[in-house]
């Protein structure tokens, strides 16, 4: 299916699109996410990075916080997947934003924050994170809080120490303590509708037995202190593989129908010759969860491509992804909002070509793609 053919789906489905207030408590009903009245809610999100070394949502040296959030509204995203690092809540939470930017020698970025969002500099990282969540909620957008890494850094690699339980920077006890801290701290904020327990489990230590040991424990810990949020579980192999659940599923009723699974899909995730073969492989790894006798919701919490249009492979990928997204009608989160990073790979003001926004944090990098993406916002499948 070509991207343009999605227009027909859009025209047929737009009448079924319901804008749902984030104040409605979300839960699951079969393969769907629903609000407190039983109305289906489809998450149409983008990821906003806050887990890197500066431990501050990216771009706040370029634009006012309220203006960045207003861009989310303008682009018709109904939620933002906001990433965070474990250590921000267990080790560095009392450090101020100014102290960290000084320690990282980010003088120019600090000056930009002083011009655009001066109040943030004297805040602790936790206070600044909360300020972002508050502004997102103020403008009517839902929030999914994503535990991306333990040690604040770019993600991900097999040997980066953050990949799996008991890796050098992935202590299960500290991880669960941070989850409880975050779940409790944001329990009164209705815009926080979900918590993703961990991004992209991976590496040589990964195994199913430990997944079944630690992940349900983490889910229970979050649910016990904040029973209102969706608890979102990632699979193995960089969040590509949930196929092991075919052998042994989890009972979602234990979490009062709050359990959602997440998967990631990038151009490099699948090596198949055709789009049809690619979709079949993704189905076998994750999309199957939405079917069968006991379907559960699947959140494609990361997909993305080079939005400059320079990569033919990436362009083919996104056409294939849009085809699958129209067919299977899952919730999703695009990687990513940010047009640049304060610092990445030792480079200041590193441009993110997968970003919705350009490096100026004002203009949209690929306006045509954003139009195509908005065709996926309405709920397409029958409910």
* Cα-based angle 155, 252, 296 (whole degrees, multiple of 5): 70
Report which of 214, 248, 246 is spatially closest to residue 233, judged by C-alpha positions.
214
**Span of 12-21, 281-290, 348-357 with lowest mean pLDDT:** 12-21
Q: Domain 3-374's class?
A: alpha beta
Q: Domain coordinates of the chain in residue numbers?
A: 3-374
pLDDT value, residue 300: 98
Per-residue DSSP letters for 107-129? HHHHHHHHHH-GGGGGSBHHHHH
CA 237 to chain centre: 17
CA distance 263 to 278: 15
Report which of 82, 91, 105 is spatially closest to residue 191, judged by C-alpha positions.
82
Rg (CA), the chain: 19
pLDDT value, residue 199: 98
Calculate the average pLDDT of the chain: 93
3-state SS class at 36? coil
pTM over 0.75: yes
Residue 259, strand partner residues: 231
Arithmetic mean of pLDDT, 8-28? 52
CA distance 378 to 254: 30
Arithmetic mean of pLDDT, 154-166? 96
pLDDT in tens, 172-212: 999 999 999 999 999 999 999 999 999 999 999 999 999 99
Residue 216, both tokens = 């349900």
């Amino acid at each position: 299916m070509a991207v343009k053919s999605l227009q027909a789906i859009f025209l047929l489905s737009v009448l079924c699109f319901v804008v749902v207030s984030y104040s409605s408590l979300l839960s699951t009903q079969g393969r769907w996410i629903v609000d407190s009245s039983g109305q289906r809610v489809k998450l149409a999100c983008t990821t906003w990075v806050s887990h890197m070394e500066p431990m501050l949502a990216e771009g706040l040296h370029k634009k006012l916080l309220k203006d960045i959030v207003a861009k989310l509204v303008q682009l018709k995203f109904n939620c933002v997947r906001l990433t965070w690092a474990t250590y921000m809540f267990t080790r560095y939470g009392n450090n101020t934003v100014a102290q960290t930017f000084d320690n990282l020698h980010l003088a120019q970025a600090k000056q930009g924050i002083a011009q655009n969002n001066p109040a943030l500099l004297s805040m602790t990282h936790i206070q600044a994170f909360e300020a972002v969540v508050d502004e997102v909620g103020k403008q009517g957008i839902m929030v999914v809080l994503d535990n991306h890494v333990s040690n604040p850094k770019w993600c991900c690699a097999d040997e980066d120490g953050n990949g799996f339980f008991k890796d050098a920077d992935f202590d299960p006890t500290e991880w669960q303590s941070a989850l409880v801290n975050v779940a409790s701290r944001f329990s009164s904020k209705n815009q926080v509708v979900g918590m993703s327990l961990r991004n992209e489990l991976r590496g040589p230590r990964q195994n199913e037995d430990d997944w079944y040991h630690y992940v349900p424990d983490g889910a229970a810990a979050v649910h016990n202190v904040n029973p209102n949020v969706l608890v979102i579980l990632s699979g193995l192999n960089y969040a590509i593989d949930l196929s092991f659940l075919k052998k042994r599923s989890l009972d979602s009723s234990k979490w009062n129908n709050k359990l959602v699974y997440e998967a990631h899909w990038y151009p490099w995730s699948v090596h198949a010759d055709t789009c049809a073969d690619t979709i079949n492989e993704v189905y076998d790894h994750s999309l199957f969860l939405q079917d069968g006798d006991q379907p559960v919701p699947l959140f494609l919490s990361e997909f993305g491509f080079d939005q400059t249009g320079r990569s033919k492979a990436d362009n083919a990928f996104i056409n294939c992804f849009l085809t699958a997204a129209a067919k299977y009608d899952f919730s999703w989160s695009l990687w990513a909002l940010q047009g640049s990073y304060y610092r990445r790979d030792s480079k200041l003001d590193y441009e993110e070509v997968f970003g919705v926004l350009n490096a100026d944090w004002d203009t949209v990098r690929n306006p045509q793609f954003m139009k195509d993406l908005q065709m996926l916002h309405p709920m397409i499948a029958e409910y």
